[in-house]
Amino acid sequence: MPVSNTAINDIEKKQLNTVFRRLKRSIAPSCSGDDIKKINLAYKVAYEGHAMQRRKSGEPYLFHPLEVARICYEEIGLGPTAIVCAILHDVVEDTPYTLEQIVKNFGPKIGLIVDGLTKLDGMYNNFESPQAENFKKVISTLVEDVRVVLIKMADRVHNMRTLGAMPRHKQLKIAAETEYIYAPLAHRLGLYKLKTEFQDIIMRIQEPEVYEELQSKLEATERQRNKYIKEFISPLRETLDETGVSFRVLGRPKSISSIYNKIQTKKVPFEEIYDLFAVRVILDVESAREKTACWQFYSIITDVYRPIPERLKDWITTPKGNGYESLHTTVIGPKGKYVEVQIRTERMDEIAERGFAAHWKYKGVKSQSSVFDIWLDNVRDILDTSNSDALEFVNDFKTNLFSEEVYVFTPKGDMRILPQGATALDFAFDIHSEVGYHATALKVNNKLVPMGYELQNGDQVSVTTSKNQKPTEDWLKIVVTGKARSKIRSSMKEERRKQGELGKEALMRKLKSMKAPFEDNVDILVKHFETTSRAELFYAIAMEEINPSTDFKIFKVVDHKLVLKEESNPEKPIQQGDPEDTKAALERRIRKTNAKILVNGEPADTYGYSFGHCCNPVEGDSIFAYLTNWAGLKIHRTNCKNATNLLANYGYRVLKAEWVGDMKNNFIVDLVVTGVDSGIGVIQKITERISVQLGINIRSFSIAGDEGYFEGKIGVVVMNTDQLNQAIKALREIEGISNVVRIEKTE
């Protein structure tokens, strides 16, 4: 967003003109004369509109749309229309230019895309989650013109690359939004390069110390890795050359974020991650020979190096749902090291790097068009479902951004791609909404299975239906796909609406008998009975959860309005549910502490606060404050498992928080210690190192060993993160201990 009103000076004008001319030169070969005219006009409009605006860094704002346009062309592969829209993408939102003027000057197609890129006006006053409403608007344009989302992706890439000028609490919000929707969306659109960059920048913001540590370790081993890659490919090259196929070999280190994810999931240190890099073999071969050539190269490589069969991934025969094609295998290379090898063609590599945009370049090759058409049909189904709740919509949509897939088949042999974890009932809805609504029995491989049966690769599924079958609330616990969830929810809402009509009629009759006008009193009843809406009140009456004959006896009518008969029993205020806490959790007493925390520069005690039980912050942790509906402020760690959802969807409730002063408070942290069970004094070594040498109190200790392996859970009482890190380091130094991990959730 623009932050100042300082005009562009002469030097900056020259710099902008240079950047624009460079952009025009690069895109000229793919442009017609009319395209160039529109690009020139777009620059003129953007220059006039943004002339007095600057970014947080102080540079003229116009540099941003020009860089977004460059990313669209060079990194995503979009054409002239997208370049025009990228240059104009902030004009309607941030300048006096209107959408009508854009349509008049550039036509309805560009107007539609620019409109999709423009945020909702006044959204912060009208919606529970303005971010979700904005996501919904952008996503709703996806099925009309996917370029909206691709330009939005380029916009987000540049914003993430230039986050350094923003204050940390703003960085955390933007990173959370990116992690919540943009990184998964980049994956689903096949933009692997951008997805990886998103994830690395997110980690750099959320876990700066860990990121820098891993980065330095990767840099320290770079020369060693490059030497190993040459050693790996050397015995292969002569045989590969004999095939007559032109190829190139790349050795790429895994991204820092993916390495960190392996460390977290496998619970091993950096030094024990064996696949820090992948060898990529890219073939230059015509489309008709692609599959044969890739398998030929696989055969040569596995003749030299022993493959690990379970690590073979054939995404050439069956491409991923986002169009990704490649042959992956892991072999045992020189010195016994595991090496991941990726074999693909130049076409496959371009699609893997540029995703959706590159896919259209090869439309018609190997039925490429169907890859995204099926996915877009699913998105369209969710959009077509009547659903006014933006948060529900975004969550349903997110399930369509899955990264792992299962391939299952209809009785006729047609393949369907579903997310890993999808159930037989998900399959029924994937076939057609009506099939899902009326599913009564499901068979997998000719055997009857429960609706919640988790599908496996290769399963053949058949569905039996009955017109009398209807979805129930329990079905929502069975399905995982966005399409199934939205359809079930929509069906249930329609059923509740029908039942609610009966309740409304009963309420109208009762109020009429009490001589209390319906419109004057219905909202009083909504508030008193703590229902979320009129529809919920009507439904509760229809289900006899509220009985007008008995429950209305506490009211009397004064001036045609319902009031309570006893003044000592005032109406209860409405309280909305909070996204992070259940009512039961919120009724617990707020834990009192003497810790000094500033929230937006003021003492947190002013607000009343407690620490999030989901992440248990310790003094020195990077934190933020979240304003709940029920329990004042909650203090969370910035890498809390709930942080992404809170920051992405409820950013307007998030406040800057920081530790201050010299505090002497105790925090309880649980650690998991794993290692080799030698049977010789493990407990004694741990307690001596922590309690005796470091003087840290142990609150709890449990340990179990099995077949040479042990895992222990230790609760320690520390004053801050420095003392915590000291304890973790000391434990890792004990012989036989392989890893020590801080537990996120505490009971």
CB 462 within 8 A of CB 414: no
Q: How many CA atoms lie within 13 A of 407 on its CB side?
A: 11
269 is written with which tokens? Answer: 């240190």
455 is written with which tokens? Answer: 């599908």
Characterize the bridge pairing of strands 327-332 and 313-314.
antiparallel
CA pair distance 289, 390, nearest whole angstrom: 47
Phi and psi based region of residue 562 (left: phi greater than 0; alpha: psi -120 to 50; beta: remaining): beta
At position 9, the amino acid (one-letter code) is: N
At position 618, the amino acid (one-letter code) is: V
Say which residue the tokens 């004094």 belong to.
Answer: 681
Say which residue the tokens 């300048």 belong to.
Answer: 95
Give the single-character DSSP code of 571: P
CA pair distance 270, 214, nearest whole angstrom: 8
Which of 35, 74, 93, 501 is catalytic? The answer is 93
CA pair distance 674, 734, nearest whole angstrom: 11
Characterize the bridge pairing of strands 447-449 and 277-284.
unpaired
At position 718, the amino acid (one-letter code) is: V
Give the rounded distance of the alpha carbon of 297 from its chain centre: 36
603 is written with which tokens? Answer: 């003492």
Say which residue the tokens 């609760």 belong to.
Answer: 715
Classify burial at 349, counting beta carbons within 10 Å of its beta carbon; exposed 0-12, middle 13-18, buried 19 or more.
buried
Known catalytic membership, residue 93: yes
Give the rounded distance of the alpha carbon of 537 from its chain centre: 35
Which of 94, 213, 353, 545 is catalytic? The answer is 94
Characterize the bridge pairing of strands 313-314 and 306-307.
unpaired
142 is written with which tokens? Answer: 């996806």
CA pair distance 181, 584, nearest whole angstrom: 30
Question: In sequence order, what are the residues at sequence separation of 6 or more whose Cβ sits closer than 8 angstroms to the Cβ of residue 469?
Answer: 437, 438, 439, 440
In SS3 terms, 140-160 reads as HCCCCCCHHHHHHHHHHHHHH
Give the three-class secondary structure for 244: coil
User: Nearest to residue 344, comparing CAs of 322, 329, 359?
Assistant: 329
Mind giving me the DSSP string for 383-444? HHS----HHHHHHHHHGGG-SSEEEEE-TT--EEEEETT-BHHHHHHHH-HHHHHTEEEEEE
Say which residue the tokens 């899955």 belong to.
Answer: 402
Give the three-class secondary structure for 674: strand
CA pair distance 731, 524, nearest whole angstrom: 61
Give the rounded distance of the alpha carbon of 175 from its chain centre: 10
CA pair distance 666, 696, nearest whole angstrom: 11
727 is written with which tokens? Answer: 């304890």
CB atoms within 10 A of CB 195: 23
CB 635 within 8 A of CB 597: yes
521 is written with which tokens? Answer: 């009193």
Give the three-class secondary structure for 582: coil
Catalytic residue numbers read 93-94
